[in-house]
Structure 1
Amino acid sequence: MTEAGTGADARDMADHRFWRAHWLIGTLVAWALVSCVTLLAKWQSVMALGLGDTDDNLRLAQVRAWLDGQGWYDLRHYHLAPPAGADIHWSRLPDLPIAAIDLLLTPVVGAEMAERWAVALAPLIPFAIGLIALALIARRLVAPHAWPLALLAACCAGILMPMWMPLRIDHHGWQLALLAVALAGLADPRPARGGVTSGIASALSLAIGLEMLIFLALIGGATALFWVRSQEHARRIAAYGASLAGGSGIAFLIFASEANRAPVCDALSPVWLSAVAAAGAALALLSLTRNERWVVRLMLAGIAGALIAIGFALLWPDCLGRPEGVSRELQALWLDNVQEARPIWRQDWQKALIVIALPLSGLAGYAIGLWRARTDMARFAPLLALAAMAVMSILLLFWQVRTAPAAQLLAVPGAALLGMAIIPPMRRSGQMLVRVFGTVAAIGVMTGLWAVVPIAMVPDADAAESEASDTAEADCGSLEAMAALDRLPPATIVAPVDLSPRLIVGTHHNAIAGPYHRNGEAMMDVFEGLGGNEARLRETVERYSASYVLICPGMKGDWLYGVEDEGRTFNRLVSDDAPSWLVSVALPEGSPYRLWRVVE
């Protein structure tokens, strides 16, 4: 070996020791830097309370109502579908950090600024948890010094990262962070600690919502298969089963709303609590068996799983289909056409490539990692479990692209494995150009940023149209524009469903419906009222005692109201051909809205 080579190896060993020793501090430093950069980038939006998503707006409305005295278990939104209000399937758990920051800062900066700081800072908490969990997975399954590669891959994930950014206060960021924690438990070499970690993280995720149910079920299945492979994992399944069942029961008692205490299919209710409790109890009982034959253990686990599945089908047959439970009419009109509910092959190719690039890189990394760990079962088994879930997440993209953030999160450990395989040879090259450009190219391959190249090379024919739509969307959600509406006396307003959550956050008015499946009747009243004929709109107005009708032409959801059919009421309103019982209300010049007052 040459003296230069010996020196390079010594430097590499010193670097490895440094990264191994300072992983937690390094992860927190990376989190702080990224958080500061994104806060600065989004500062104007924070000051404008620029919650762009309907769920973020309704989450803020839910926190406001709670802080104003609404009951802990009452999660109805009384500013929607008055006077009864709209029932939402969420829980209070994601409300806690938002409310805590708001209450803590109000005496210091005032109520208005405290709320803005709350929506800016609250998403950074699950961001920190998610990064720490991903760093742990990389340390345990890739190499003790590989965690920076995992953080780099995560921070380059174009679909995952926005879920953890300022203003993204909806529950998805928390569920992704808890999924990462559950995976870290699966990778934990200490069985009991790993089982408890995965069980508690799964229970908390279920308390928030069922969006990660498939992946949580796969984690449970992998935990059981660990025990099937080796009796040494009896402590893992016992700890996992007890913490999953017990944690879910406690979470149900603390966080389940009044509505979710009924046997509903779309939240942690008696339906899913019974299934989770049965599964946890079954795993705890299986851990007590002492049979050395893996075939017998597999048979016992299979029997337990079959009994739980049969019991679920017999007790809760209504929950065997889609959990939303909407009417066929609403599903055909709305749910099947929601962008995130469409499969990846129905997205534009640029978005599809951004979604799939990192998962494909992750799969390549998992293949390399599994080959290298084939003789080390302690690493091979959890790597195989993560690789299988990564494959499943990619397959699910061909069902609904809403699983894209989870698919990118599951790809991160695989990306770190790929990085460990292709970056060091580039860095050790004797050619400077290879060291520089080769390393950059390797990072691009590892992180999925290679997708940027074809996207940049092919002009987007719809770019101008998309930009115009984004501008209209921003204008429609502007608090400055809504100030004119807020000056009107409090009233109930018929507005498009995608505008309504923002309307109740930006003004003191009520609306009819937001895009939430439990309120199918109210949604159909708005869809058919604005998208039907004059008589149907009048029926909706009278049913909810509405005083105004509001539209914002150019919003992305306009297609729901039949914009291609000139005979629809929505198009008549766009053309200022309103029914005689609607009187136009003057708004400031440049307002994106058109508003009419209902007259007798």
Structure 2
Amino acid sequence: MTRHSSFARELDRHWLRWLLLAWVVLAAWFLWQRWNAVHWLALSDTDDNMRLMQVRAWLGGQGWYDLRQYRLNPPGGLDIHWSRLVDLPIAGLILLFKPFAGPVWAERLAVGIAPLLPMGVALIALSVTVRRLVSPVAWPLAVLFLLGCSSTLLMFMPERIDHHGWQLACLAWTVAGIADHRQARGGMVVGLSSALSLTIGLELLPYCAMAGAIVALRWVWDRAEARRLTVYGATLAGASTIGFVAFASNANYAMRCDALTPVWLSAVVAGGALLVLIARIGPQAWGARLALTLVAGAVLAGAFATLFPQCLARPEGVSEELARTWLNNVREAKPLYTMPGRTILLIVTGPIIGLLGAIFATWRARRSADFVGWAVVTLFTTFAVAMLFWQIRSGPAAQLLAIPGTVALAWMLVPWLLSRRHAAVRVLGTAGVISLLLLGNLFVDQVGKLLSMLPDSGLTKHVRIKPQDARTKQILRAGARCASLPALQALNRLPRAVMFTHVDLGPRLIVATHHDGITGPYHRNGDAILDVHHAFQGDPDNFRTIARRHGATYLLTCPNMAETTVYRARSPGGFYDQLAHNKMPGWLSPVPLPKGSPLRLWRIDYSGMAGSSANR
């Protein structure tokens, strides 16, 4: 046996062992690379900070089904629409490390390690897909090309403890399931991964719906696929119900449209039941199966529109004013065609490469048993590319779904190049192909890298990012310095109080200090967000009225933070603009902070106001 065949046999037989070793090495590398962020608890955005506060509250005794954040907008708190599912690994790691590292370092290690767990889950799923469709020994290329998916990889980095990494891991398993030739196993995997993703959040709802449509189309194409469709429908309905019962918050029992509430649960359960029913009917003619599938879809859509018309509009259910001043301006929710041409090229390069590879692989497999597997992967990849034309935040999913096609392209081109006569063609050609496929993905999300430096929700998304613009660099530095642990922890020398501060600074404030804030960028709390908008953009008396209503004792600002530039641009001469020009009303008293602090702090005096005595 040659050395090459022995190596290939080892990669095939013990692939999971070697993959896990690769994951451990990568995890250690990323932890070392980002150790400074771990040391300073430099959570990357508002959602990561809020996720940590959610875990802290639970470990501190808050109820499993109570996900309100009482440190913002006290005493009533803010309604957070997430589930507890993603809290589990973070809390488990904290409890694991606490006896050895103490509470502070247990938390820092947990938020550093937790995002790497879904990366390992995603790597296993991608490798399973590649082993099934490309070659049993092609899985190392899946690992390599994931490292080139900068947008996707950011969701798995230390400190990125929000739920996107786990949803991407679910998506990777969805792909593995729809490509599985074993019907019952494939249907169960797709159903479970979709149910878990929906339990976590609705961000990937369109992908879950597309996966279900693909499973149904496989049955339309081949009546023998009835078992896959039956298992998928039953698993999706059952697992979603269990996920709702086990993880939905008390607030998510309302008829809301932004989470797995009774609205979407009923739609998922009904959809799963309809798929089981049509699979059982199973007419012989493919045209009849297609018609039956379309009728079932029309019945489900019609019932949903009739019973839940409020969910036919945007799912957040915010007021027109909040949509106009905030949600409609979120950069990541903009479609691809609204971006500059250079940005479009950067975003679509990697997914297009993967799509072309999947199309080519489907064509090559047209007479083999792998044809259907590649066809459904190509369909899913096409859908992911199309989603970019809806919202550019679909970039991480599009990159992830492009990996099987990219691996297939490399697996076809490299052997062909290695068979060439000239050594230069063999060496340079192979290196060039691998580099092109890898760098194509790296180029995709250079914009995403810059966006990741800002909170992924909130007013900062109004700012147009120009990497070489000095003003933009000043904004980025200001936001980073104000959110730093040393800057905020200096506030702990003051007795606990409610601090009126920016929307995007609120979650970080409650993580780093013992003080309470007003709000964060969470759409269910539109009144509190608008209060902050109105307070900073109105006149000084209006600010004091709103601040008193929220029980705020201090005003905390971060000059030149992205959010503050929005206030100044929208309301010249407004309260925040006056602060920026050092025009302070007499009822604000500056509070000294350590030398070099990027923050500014004032005590608010309410004496003299109607219906008020002293500070409250």
Label 1:129 to 1:286 Cα distance change in 2 as closer, same or farther (>3 A).
same
Residue equivalent to 1:562: 568
Residue equivalent to 1:197: 189
1:406-445 CA distance string (max 9 Å, x none): 1111111111111112222233334333333322210122
Pairwise CA distance, 1:13:
4.8
Separation in structure 1 between the aligned mates of residue 29 and residue 300 of structure 2, nearest angstrom: 48
Aligned partner of residue 359 in structure 2, secondary structure: helix
Aligned residue among 342, 350, 362 for 1:358: 350
Aligned residue among 409, 416, 427 for 2:407: 416
Of the structure 1 ranges 317-326 and 445-454, higher mean CA displacement relative to structure 2 is found in: 445-454
Pairwise CA distance, 1:531:
2.0
> What letter matches 2:479 in structure 1?
E
> What letter matches 1:574 in structure 2?
A
Alignment of 1:424-573 (within 5 A): 424-449=415-440, 452=443, 462=468, 464-563=470-569, 565-573=571-579
Residue equivalent to 1:274: 266
> What letter matches 2:405 in structure 1?
G
Separation in structure 2 between the aligned mates of residue 400 and residue 196 of structure 1, nearest angstrom: 29
> What letter matches 2:528 in structure 1?
A
> What letter matches 1:439 in structure 2?
T
Residue 296 (str. 1) matches residue 302 (str. 2): no
Aligned partner of residue 192 in structure 1, secondary structure: helix
Separation in structure 1 between the aligned mates of residue 150 and residue 98 of structure 2, nearest angstrom: 34
Label 1:256 to 1:18 Cα distance change in 2 as closer, same or farther (>3 A).
same
1:94-148 CA distance string (max 9 Å, x none): 0000000101111111000100011011111111100100111111122222211
1:379-415 CA distance string (max 9 Å, x none): 2223222222222222222221111111111111111
Aligned partner of residue 110 in structure 1, secondary structure: helix
Pairwise CA distance, 1:536:
2.3
Residue equivalent to 1:580: 586
Aligned residue among 132, 135, 141 for 2:133: 141
Residue 37 (str. 1) matches residue 43 (str. 2): no
Label 1:236 to 1:455 Cα distance change in 2 as closer, same or farther (>3 A).
closer
Separation in structure 2 between the aligned mates of residue 504 and residue 140 of structure 1, nearest angstrom: 47
Alignment of 1:84-483 (within 5 A): 84-347=76-339, 352-376=344-368, 378-449=369-440, 452=443, 462=468, 464-483=470-489
Of the structure 1 ranges 386-395 and 345-354, higher mean CA displacement relative to structure 2 is found in: 345-354
Pairwise CA distance, 1:208:
0.5
> What letter matches 2:335 in structure 1?
P
User: With structure 1 as the length reference, what TM-score do the two structures score?
Assistant: 0.94
The answer to whether the 8 Å contact 1:444/1:450 transfers is no
Separation in structure 2 between the aligned mates of residue 375 and residue 225 of structure 1, nearest angstrom: 19
Q: Which runs of 4+ in 1 moved over 6 A?
A: 453-456
The answer to whether the 8 Å contact 1:350/1:455 transfers is no
What fraction of aligned residue pairs are identical, expressed as a percent?
47
> What letter matches 2:564 in structure 1?
D
1:10-62 CA distance string (max 9 Å, x none): 66655543332232122212211111111001111101001021000000000
Aligned partner of residue 597 in structure 1, secondary structure: strand
> What letter matches 2:582 in structure 1?
D
Label 1:12 to 1:520 Cα distance change in 2 as closer, same or farther (>3 A).
same
Of the structure 1 ranges 111-120 and 343-352, higher mean CA displacement relative to structure 2 is found in: 343-352
Separation in structure 1 between the aligned mates of residue 81 and residue 47 of structure 2, nearest angstrom: 12
1:513-569 CA distance string (max 9 Å, x none): 111110001000001111222132122201101111111112222333134643021
The answer to whether the 8 Å contact 2:497/2:553 transfers is yes
Pairwise CA distance, 1:588:
0.9
Of the structure 1 ranges 588-597 and 444-453, higher mean CA displacement relative to structure 2 is found in: 444-453
Label 1:343 to 1:281 Cα distance change in 2 as closer, same or farther (>3 A).
same
Separation in structure 1 between the aligned mates of residue 597 and residue 570 of structure 2, nearest angstrom: 24
The answer to whether the 8 Å contact 2:537/2:570 transfers is no
Aligned partner of residue 498 in structure 1, secondary structure: helix
Label 1:473 to 1:427 Cα distance change in 2 as closer, same or farther (>3 A).
farther
Residue equivalent to 1:4: none
Separation in structure 1 between the aligned mates of residue 532 and residue 240 of structure 2, nearest angstrom: 37
Separation in structure 2 between the aligned mates of residue 481 and residue 290 of structure 1, nearest angstrom: 65
Aligned partner of residue 44 in structure 2, secondary structure: coil
Aligned partner of residue 56 in structure 1, secondary structure: helix
The answer to whether the 8 Å contact 2:355/2:381 transfers is yes
Of the structure 1 ranges 246-255 and 280-289, higher mean CA displacement relative to structure 2 is found in: 280-289
The answer to whether the 8 Å contact 1:528/1:561 transfers is no
> What letter matches 1:102 in structure 2?
I
Residue 70 (str. 1) matches residue 76 (str. 2): no
The answer to whether the 8 Å contact 1:359/1:408 transfers is yes
The answer to whether the 8 Å contact 1:210/1:267 transfers is yes
Equivalent pairs, count: 588
1:251-272 CA distance string (max 9 Å, x none): 1100010010111100001100
1:214-265 CA distance string (max 9 Å, x none): 0000000001111111122111111111110000111110001001011110
In structure 1, stretches of 5+ residues that fail to align are 1-6
In structure 2, stretches of 5+ residues that fail to align are 448-465, 608-616
Separation in structure 2 between the aligned mates of residue 384 and residue 447 of structure 1, nearest angstrom: 23
Separation in structure 2 between the aligned mates of residue 470 and residue 387 of structure 1, nearest angstrom: 39
Residue equivalent to 1:590: 596
Label 1:348 to 1:598 Cα distance change in 2 as closer, same or farther (>3 A).
farther
Separation in structure 1 between the aligned mates of residue 19 and residue 35 of structure 2, nearest angstrom: 24
The answer to whether the 8 Å contact 2:499/2:515 transfers is yes
User: With structure 2 as the length reference, what TM-score do the two structures score?
Assistant: 0.92
Label 1:261 to 1:454 Cα distance change in 2 as closer, same or farther (>3 A).
closer
Label 1:36 to 1:466 Cα distance change in 2 as closer, same or farther (>3 A).
farther
The answer to whether the 8 Å contact 2:148/2:441 transfers is no
1:352-371 CA distance string (max 9 Å, x none): 44432210110110121111
The answer to whether the 8 Å contact 2:152/2:400 transfers is yes
Aligned partner of residue 317 in structure 2, secondary structure: coil
Separation in structure 1 between the aligned mates of residue 491 and residue 508 of structure 2, nearest angstrom: 12
Separation in structure 1 between the aligned mates of residue 530 and residue 294 of structure 2, nearest angstrom: 44
Alignment of 1:11-26 (within 5 A): 13-26=5-18
The answer to whether the 8 Å contact 2:111/2:161 transfers is yes
Label 1:50 to 1:28 Cα distance change in 2 as closer, same or farther (>3 A).
same
> What letter matches 2:66 in structure 1?
D
1:290-330 CA distance string (max 9 Å, x none): 43211111111111111111111111010111111111111
Aligned-residue CA RMSD (Å): 2.1
Pairwise CA distance, 1:152:
1.2
Aligned partner of residue 288 in structure 1, secondary structure: helix
Of the structure 1 ranges 572-581 and 465-474, higher mean CA displacement relative to structure 2 is found in: 465-474
The answer to whether the 8 Å contact 1:357/1:448 transfers is no
Label 1:451 to 1:90 Cα distance change in 2 as closer, same or farther (>3 A).
closer
